[in-house]
Amino acid sequence: MIDFRSDTVTKPSAAMRTLMANAEVGDDVYGDDPSVNHLEAFAAERHGFEAALFVTSGTQANLLAIMSHCERGDEYLCGQNAHNYRYEAGGAAVLGSVQPQPIDNEPDGSLCFKKLAAAIKPNDFHYARTKLLSLENTIGGKVLSLDYMAQARAFCDAHQLILHLDGARVYNAAVALNVDITAIAKHFDSMTICLSKGLGAPVGSLLLGNREFIAKARRIRKMLGGGMRQAGILAVAGQYVLEHNVARLQEDHHNAAYLAEQLNTLPGFDTRRYPVQTNIVFVDVAPHIDIKAVALQLREQGIIMSPSYEKMRLVTHLGVTKSDIDKLIACLQQLL
Ligand SMILES: *Cc1c(COP(=O)(O)O)cnc(C)c1O
């Protein structure tokens, strides 16, 4: 199957499976898993943080970050479109008693500092305590610039806020900006990375920050049922993708640009409202096309996508080649 739904659908390669089969393991709750310990030490050093925690998912990494930075009755500033506001089942509020204060994202995905400043609550017992700003990069496939991230750091310093990055796809941002990951990471007090998206590991995310923060997150991870035992089987896959699958993200970005270009040649498909910056393509589909029926017929030909009329999303990843895109376009031409 050729799957355009998300970069979460990638399957582990033969090399990765061999590593996983042979991984040295121990009980990670006892701190005994050498592969997890190695990954955490490697990740901390590689991204310029004191410590790292290997966790089950990006959702858990964000929740741990918010709960470790904030107390009950605190609040965090984020975008209306932030994953940790919109798509994580309200975890920060439900489990952390931390109130989100969302701000409309600007068209480029950023948050306006004027609007953020206006949302910071006065130090008065009527209000929640504004503690944290959470950004996301990439956000909806868009890249926040280095300059914007530096401004966010200065803004947080000026207002005594902690700065967190939901970096589920931060490596896509680094590759698009053509910088080392540390040029992004250095601005943030904490950062998450999804190993299981475009990077191609089967399971797992990283949370990065200082020692005290990670120690707190480790305690909360246990509380949330996220303490894993012989997790080294997964950690070696995560380590592998950090070492081998970063540079190739460029290919996904090229393929996404090519996909958008090809979609625009089809009558009734238009990506022009959504310039492609990384591996995510959005396309508007004309209402006369029965896109659900098209998606069903594509599936019979081995192609999976999530149909919608406005802002239909297609994602490129290591399981999608240029000739897969040609196949999709040829099938669409025929069906239309
Ligand atoms: C996917 C994603 C997450 C959550 O990751 P899961 O591993 O699916 O829980 C968080 N933030 C962003 C920006 C994401 O794209």
Q: What is the pLDDT of residue 107?
A: 97
* Sign of the four-CA dihedral 145, 146, 152, 155: negative
| Token representation of residue 140 | 């909806």
220: alpha, beta or left? (left if phi > 0; alpha if psi -120 to 50): alpha
Which domains does the chain possess?
A: 10-244 (3.40.640.10), 248-335 (3.90.1150.10)
pLDDT digits (tens, 9 = 90+) for 211-234: 999 999 999 999 999 999 999 999
For strands 280-285 and 303-304, give the pairing. unpaired
Asked whether 297 lines ligand 1 (CB < 6 A), one says no
Q: Is 316 helix (H, G, I), strand (E, B) or coil?
A: coil
Distance 169 CA to ligand 1 centre (A): 8
| 86 burial type by CB count under 10 A (0-12 exposed, 13-18 middle, 19+ buried) | middle
d(CA 49, CA 38): 15
Instruction: Ligand 1 pocket test: pick from 57, 172, 207 the residue with the most ligand atoms within 8 Å of its Cβ.
Output: 57
* Sign of the four-CA dihedral 107, 158, 58, 90: negative
DSSP secondary structure string for all residues of 178-240: TS-THHHHTT-SEEEEESSSTT--SS-EEEEE-HHHHHHHHHHHHHTT---SSTHHHHHHHHH
pLDDT digits (tens, 9 = 90+) for 237-282: 999 999 999 999 999 999 999 999 999 999 999 999 999 999 999 9
